[in-house]
Amino acid sequence: KTIIITIDGPAGSGKSSVARRVAEELGFAYLDSGAIYRAVSFYLSQKCISSNDVAKIEVELEKLTIQIDDQQRIFVNGADVTGEIRSPKVDEIVSFYSSLPVVRRRLLSIQRELGDRQNLIAEGRDMGTVVFPNADLKIFLKANARTRAARRWKELAERGVEISYDDVYYQIIQRDELDSKRKLSPLLPAEDAIILDTSDLTLEEVVEAVKKLIKE
């Protein structure tokens, strides 16, 4: 049996950076489920298929393939979309596509298969609640919205993306709201998740705290 650790939480709580670091140190595989939702949303929006057009989305999803290589590059139907999925444009649309049951259903098996094959740290919104309900350890990271927006704004600025702090803050609040209020797999800690508030912790401190929980 493989070991599965889940890390869920809202945007900017630290899931990706923490999961990536811990996976590397433990030699576990790493699943960035948000990247899959981003890639599919980007792909559909490029094809001008609106999130209201469920019939068209269903047809697209039937022939859709997703590949992730060991450098975390992500491909939709063979096309590399890695460079495009972390833009403010995708931040704005992703929650509309990811609220759709057809989309979530299609992506569920892709995510579960990864956990059958190898020890895994999976991060996202519903890793502990829906995708891996029997995970060996479930962690839910949270932090106040201003702190999360400041982190995301800094990250975008470092990548040369021009956007104001207020816009980032507003987007984060809106995405939190959409992700938390959707009917299927809302953003929510699993009943048996350990909740960690990272607002006043450094990345280093969060990584240490998570490693400590894993050892226990």
What are the residues binding ligand ADP (CB under 6 A)? 9, 11-17, 151-152, 155, 198, 201-203, 206
**Cβ nearer to ligand ADP, comparing 60 with 95:** 95
Strand partners, 140: 8, 195
Q: Contact at 8 Å (CB) between 16 and 101?
A: no
Query: DSSP of 163-198, one letter per residue?
Result: --HHHHHHHHHHHHHHHHH-SSS-S---TTPEEEE-
Closest CA to 111 of 186, 45, 37: 37
What's the min distance (Å) between Cβ of 112 and ligand CDP?
A: 12
**Cβ nearer to ligand ADP, comparing 64 with 129:** 129
**Cβ nearer to ligand CDP, comparing 95 with 215:** 95
Contacting residue, 44, 81, 94, 206, with ligand CDP by CB under 6 A: 94
Contacting residue, 21, 38, 106, 138, with ligand CDP by CB under 6 A: 38
What's the min distance (Å) between Cβ of 1 and ligand CDP?
A: 23
Give CA–CA dist 128/124, Å, rounded.
Answer: 9
171 binds, among ligand ADP, ligand CDP, none (CB under 5 to 8 A by kind): none
The yes or no reply on residue 175 touching ligand CDP (CB under 6 A) is yes
